Amino acid sequence: MSFSVATWNINSVRLRLPLILKVIEKEKPDILCLQETKCPDDKFPYKALRAAGYEHIAVHGQKGYHGVATLSLRPFENVEKMEFCNKHDCRHIAVTVKAGDKHIRIHNFYVPAGGDEPDPEINPKFRHKLDFLEEMKAVKADMGDGLSSILVGDLNIAPYENDVWSHKQLLKIVSHTPIETKTLIDLCSQGGWVDLMRKKIPEPEKIFTWWSYRAKDWASSNRGRRLDHIWSSPDLVPHMQEMEILTEARGMEKPSDHVPVIMHFDLA
């Protein structure tokens, strides 16, 4: 049985609704996890997305900033929302669905970007990012309840050398500083997670999911970063099939600076 999970920082769900509809019409992932929805729950475009087949929608949003939403072709068995750092800034939602003979908890995260200065002593946004990651360590692949797990989202860190266009030039740039990359790699391994994107495409091949709005010609310069991630519990690794990074979405009209990533599974 095929099962697919997609993640996409959409950078305003209402502004980019036409792009979402275009992608889901073509790809039809079972689960679509959106980040940076920038939309309070009562203003979310439920009607249009349900008309496109996504009857099951879980949202955790606020006006103008942050926000996550998970759309599903399958009914939810459970919905959970976690708060981090006592900020109440809508950066996580988790749903549980049945796929094949597995019950899978799917975490959808939007990790703080961290501002421009990678020094927690002078930059409260970077301090918030590091504190958020510290609290994320409680989210394990195996929570002892018999569920399989998937963790996706804009984690705002490109952890490996070939997750950025230039390792040397970005070492002092927020999203690729040593403290961030080590923290995320440790969070993944110590939490019992498997980085499926790097399992599918190992280093040293480059993987990018984000290209800056500031780039005059993002495609030709190709100065990208892998800020979007898909992790899973080890039991799902043997079921992993195709991975798609929809780079063409970056070239759509009024695009997000992130592109969708879709992981396909074959479950019994």
The domains located in the chain, with CATH, are 2-266 (3.60.10.10)
Q: Which of 89, 154, 163, 195 is catalytic?
A: 154
110 noted as active-site residue: yes
- Whole-number CA gyration radius for the chain: 17
Q: Which of 60, 110, 176, 229 is catalytic?
A: 110
- Per the annotation, does 36 bind a ligand? yes
Q: Per the annotation, does 222 bind a ligand?
A: no
pLDDT in tens, 84-93: 999 999 999 9
Is 167 annotated as contributing to ligand binding?
no
Mean pLDDT of 214-240: 97
- Whether 216 shows a pLDDT value over 90: the answer reads no
When pLDDT is averaged across residues 174-202 and rounded to a whole number, the result is 98
pLDDT at 268: 78
Active site residue 195: no
Task: Please indicate whether residue 167 is annotated as part of the active site.
Answer: no
Measured CA to CA, the distance from residue 16 to residue 39 in angstroms comes to 12
Sign of CA dihedral 169, 173, 178, 184: negative
Mean pLDDT of 96-121: 98
Please tell me whether 60 is known to bind a ligand: no
pLDDT, mean of residues 172-197: 98
Q: What is the DSSP string of 17-77?
A: HHHHHHHHHHH--SEEEEE-----GGGS-HHHHHHTT--EEEEE--SSS--EEEEESS--S
